[in-house]
């Protein structure tokens, strides 16, 4: 029986651990927190998982919360004009329909539940914050060591890939609040949709229906351009203060969202999170002091800003790609060539998410604004952009280059072949 060590109990690490376990591998999972500590701790992220990522969970029968979590049937986009009067400040507003529903489950719920399942199924769970010295020791005991913990000392094992990492610092200041009591959007009062409110030059507000520890809730998530009017969360720790700043920013820049948030309250005492980080792609193979090799997983090696909601989706896709690569490798040695090939299998999809995310972190080009504006009057355009959250590779065909964008819009307006996704 092949022995595998996975360091880190997030979306990718746990999905991969449970997947390998189901195929008879002897899996050890290292986490710096217990399931109960995760369940009762601070929120760890935003997340909205689309069809492909959800299907990877279903394939492993890990979709434990599908019946409970809100079914997100569309992605709405509002384009704000921060210089206009409040009543005129939303010149573009539309809802793109998803081909298959998306869902969001608070990672405190999912990771704690998956950890309990892993242990109950006989997996070895080690509660310990791993250091490089630990991995040096363990690399001699296991056939394969995978690192899916995206913070701390061990991330330094994976060198920054300068060719794939265009940014030298954070591109957004981030603030998250999980809330109860948010009213429905009047445009779709009986349906759940994720909302993207774009405020050019200022930042973005995302509103995501979710399932949290206290049941159904909504995530309010601000991304502010560093140094701009939304860069106000640095050093704010008190959850009430975070929520107050979130609401003040909503009232100022997205009054149509603020109007349904006047009766909200935090879901729990740990329902806020603030921070910032630099989007980075890293070399997937880490070399230990003793000569052993470890393979980086998900955001350890591809850390994108959450502006396009790709984090948990990419993590699920990475776990699925690595699982297939491990199973296909049989009893052969997991050498450096195999590790790089496994990462290449993941990068085939991750590169599209990275390109799209990095594009959206820069000021939008004129043709991108025209695409977004077209979604208000051309439903196929709204639907195609919405479904790009599930498959960012599709953006290659119509999003990045002005000539392709204009040809696509012309085809939609003419009702021809160019309207397709």
Contacts of residue 378, Cβ cutoff 8 Å, sequence gap at least 6:
409, 412, 413
**Contacts within 8 Å (CB) and 24+ apart, 128-132:** 128/30, 128/31, 128/32, 129/32, 130/7, 130/30, 130/32, 130/154, 132/156, 132/157, 132/288, 132/289
CA geometry: angle 142, 108, 47, nearest 5 deg: 95
Largest interatomic CA distance in the chain:
67
Q: What is the predicted pLDDT for the residue at 85?
A: 57
Q: Is 385 helix (H, G, I), strand (E, B) or coil?
A: helix
- Is there a contact between 364 and 200 (Cβ–Cβ < 8 Å)? yes
User: Which domains does the chain possess?
Assistant: 3-62+106-167+278-360 (3.50.50.60), 72-103+172-275 (3.30.9.40), 364-419 (no CATH)
Among the listed residues 352, 339, 341, 272, the one whose alpha carbon sits nearest the alpha carbon of residue 308: 352
Helix axes 402-414, 366-374, angle to 10 degrees: 20
Give dist(CA 231, CA 250) in Å, integer. 13
Q: What is the predicted pLDDT for the residue at 187?
A: 80
The H-or-E segment that residue 180 falls in is strand 173-180
Q: What is the predicted pLDDT for the residue at 416?
A: 61
Give dist(CA 172, CA 327) in Å, integer. 38
DSSP assignments along 339-376, one per residue: HHHHHHHHHHHHHHHHHHHHHHHSPPPHHHHHHHHHTT
What is the pLDDT tens value at each position of the chain, 421 positions in all? Answer: 799 999 999 999 999 999 999 999 999 999 999 999 999 999 999 999 999 999 999 999 999 999 999 999 999 999 987 666 555 577 899 999 999 999 999 999 999 999 999 999 999 999 998 889 889 888 889 999 999 986 778 899 999 999 999 999 999 999 999 999 999 988 888 889 999 999 999 999 999 999 999 999 999 999 999 999 999 999 999 999 999 999 999 999 999 999 999 999 999 999 999 999 999 999 999 999 999 999 999 999 999 999 999 999 999 999 999 999 999 999 999 999 999 999 999 999 999 999 999 999 999 999 999 999 999 999 999 999 999 999 999 999 999 999 999 999 999 999 864 455 4
Contacts of residue 77, Cβ cutoff 8 Å, sequence gap at least 6:
92, 93, 94, 96, 195, 196, 197, 198, 372, 375, 382, 385
Q: Where are the alpha helices (DSSP H) in 121-198?
A: 132-138
pTM of the model: 0.95
Give dist(CA 388, CA 401) in Å, integer. 16
């Amino acid at each position: 029986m092949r022995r595998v060590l996975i360091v880190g109990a997030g979306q990718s690490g746990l999905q991969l651990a449970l997947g390998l376990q189901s195929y008879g591998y002897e899996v050890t999972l290292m986490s710096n927190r217990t399931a109960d500590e995760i369940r009762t701790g601070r929120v760890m992220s935003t997340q909205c998982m689309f069809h492909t990522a959800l299907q990877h969970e279903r394939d492993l029968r890990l979709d434990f919360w599908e019946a409970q979590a809100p079914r997100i049937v569309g992605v709405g986009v509002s384009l704000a004009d921060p210089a206009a009067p409040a009543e005129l400040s939303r010149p573009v507003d539309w809802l793109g329909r998803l081909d298959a529903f998306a869902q969001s489950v608070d990672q405190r719920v999912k990771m704690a539940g998956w950890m309990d399942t892993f242990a109950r199924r006989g997996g070895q769970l080690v509660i310990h914050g791993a250091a490089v010295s630990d991995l040096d020791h363990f690399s001699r005991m296991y056939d394969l060591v995978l690192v899916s913990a995206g913070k701390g000392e061990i991330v330094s094992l994976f060198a920054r890939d300068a060719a794939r990492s265009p940014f030298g610092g954070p591109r957004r200041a981030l603030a998250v609040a999980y809330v109860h009591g948010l009213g429905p959007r009047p445009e779709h009062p009986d349906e759940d949709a994720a909302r993207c409110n774009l405020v050019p030059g200022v930042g973005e507000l995302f509103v995501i229906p979710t399932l949290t520890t206290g049941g159904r809730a909504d995530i309010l998530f601000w991304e502010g351009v560093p140094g701009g009017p939304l860069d106000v969360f640095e050093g704010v720790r008190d959850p009430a203060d975070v929520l107050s700043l979130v609401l003040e920013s909503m009232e100022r820049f997205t009054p149509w969202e603020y109007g349904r948030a006047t009766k909200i309250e935090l879901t729990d005492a740990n329902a806020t999170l603030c921070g910032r980080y630099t989007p980075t792609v890293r070399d997937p193979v880490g070399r230990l002091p003793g000569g052993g090799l470890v393979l980086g997983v998900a955001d350890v090696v591809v850390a994108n800003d959450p502006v396009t909601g790709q984090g948990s989706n990419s993590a699920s896709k990475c776990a699925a790609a690595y699982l297939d690569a491990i199973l296909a490798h049989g009893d052969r040695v997991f050498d450096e060539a195999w590790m790089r090939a496994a990462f290449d299998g993941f990068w085939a999809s991750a590169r599209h998410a990275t390109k799209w995310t990095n594009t959206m972190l820069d000021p939008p080009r004129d043709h991108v604004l025209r695409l977004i504006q077209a979604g208000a009057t051309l439903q196929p355009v709204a639907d195609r952009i919405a479904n790009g959250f599930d498959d960012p590779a599709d953006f290659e065909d119509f999003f990045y280059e002005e000539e392709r964008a204009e040809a696509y819009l012309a085809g939609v307006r003419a009702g021809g072949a160019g309207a397709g996704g």
